[in-house]
Amino acid sequence: MLVRELNRGKCKTYLIACEKSRVALLVDPIREKVDRYLAFLSYHTLKLEAVIDTHTHADHRTAGFELKDLAGAKVIMHRRAPAPHVDIHVEDGEMIPVGDVQLQVIYTPGHTPDSISLYAGDRVYTGDTLLIRGTGRCDFAGGDPGEQFDSVTQKLFVLPDETLVFPAHDYRGNTQSTIGEEKRFNPRISGRTRGEYVDLMNNLGLPLPDKIQEVLQPNQSALDDDRLRFPSLAELNQVRQLTPNRVQALLGTFPLPVLLDVREPEEYTGELGHIPGSILIPLQDLPSRAGELEGYKDRQIIAICRAGVRSTTAAAILTGLGFEQVSNLKGGMLDWNDHNLPVDM
Ligand SMILES: [Fe+2]
């Protein structure tokens, strides 16, 4: 197994390759470094089979979709990842092969709902779930400190103490740690109860990320053009969120709400199906096609997508265009399906 960290910065990208079969995989590649990754792969005669994002990043644009385009790599993310164009969705316990090397997916939500760690026997890539002497913040983008505490203590700290820890970020120049060291010395977790950890994380007082429009929403939607002006965090936070059961109840009322699905056409007819009667306008086309909804300005509109993230963006855009009663299906078609509510395929 050949393993290299390729960025040499605060943001870590790991190349994991099987030397025998010459196939490689990149964990958390960043878009500005695509040329460097391709040069490295070429110099070492490695074929890039896949890119794994351990979660939807808020601090850098992912290189996943670019490497899919340029090198034919498959994009792998957890089932809860909100973006379209993910080739393989994985869940807890699944194995990802890289030639002779096997990576086991450990679902570790908390930093985001789609956070995974990757376990390869002697080492674990922990994304932003467990950092060296720290943990990733969980105060936006669907983060949940209680879930994060459970992920760290019940999913990662049960690995053997000597397991090497490789996080997605380090701000102090560290490169690796071990599970045993983090159990003893991680100042956020060590000696704290779940309740104390939640209190601590809810009161970190960190400034909100300034790249939410340039980084987070483009990563969440796999969009890379200027047709869309992404809403601000304040605008997103104002969107009314409706649970699947609440939406189902509204479908028995008059006038019927307008169900607006903003996914890509292949998702609308894909494995999650769509809600009967919903109309499809992909998010990227929404600004140019909002005129089609003009007749519904006084009706309740419910935006829908895969995980409820792109549709929150859509709802905020429509609100900005003067639509007065726009809400969002919380958890999107993932939660709708998990509640066994009716779908058309
Ligand atoms: Fe992150």
Percentage, residues of the chain above pLDDT 70: 100
* The pLDDT of residue 233 is above 90: no
Q: Distance, CA 216 to ligand 1 centroid (Å)? A: 10
CA 129 to ligand 1 centroid distance, Å: 8
Same domain, 252 and 193: no
CA of 35 to the centre of ligand 1 (A): 22
Residue 218 C-alpha to ligand 1 middle, in angstroms? Answer: 14
The tens digit of pLDDT for each residue in 107-127 reads 999 999 999 999 998 999 999
CATH number of the structural domain spanning residue 275: 3.40.250.10
Q: Give Cα 131 distance to the centre of its chain.
A: 18
Under the banding of pLDDT at 50, 70 and 90, the label for residue 156 is: very high
Q: What is the DSSP string of 41-67?
A: HHHTT-EEEEEE-SS--SSS-BSHHHH
Answer with the one of 202, 237, 267 that is the final residue of a domain: 202
Give the tokens for residue 205.
């007082």
Which domain range does residue 323 map to?
A: 225-338
Cα–ligand 1 centroid distance for 329 (angstroms) = 24
The last residue of a domain, from among 202, 235, 264: 202
Q: Give percent of the chain with pLDDT exceeding 90.
A: 89
* 303: β partners: 260, 328
Dist. CA 183–CA 266, nearest whole Å: 44
Distance 236 CA to ligand 1 centre (A): 19
pLDDT recorded at residue 227 = 75
- Ligand 1 mean position to 95 CA, how many Å? 23
How far apart, in whole angstroms, are the C-alpha atoms of residue 305 and residue 262? 6
Between the CA of 115 and the centroid of ligand 1 the distance, in Å, is 9
Between the CA of 131 and the centroid of ligand 1 the distance, in Å, is 11
Whether residues 43 and 124 fall in one domain: yes
Number of domains in the chain: 2
Residue 224 predicted with pLDDT over 80: no
Angle at 202 between CA 198 and CA 205, to 5 degrees: 145
Domain identity same for 157 and 275: no
One domain for residues 118 and 184: yes
pTM: 0.94
Q: What one-character-per-residue DSSP string does 63-112 give?
A: SHHHHHHHH-PEEEEETT---S--SEEE-TT-EEEETTEEEEEEE--SSS
Q: Do 182 and 127 share a structural domain?
A: yes
Residue 308 has a pLDDT of: 97
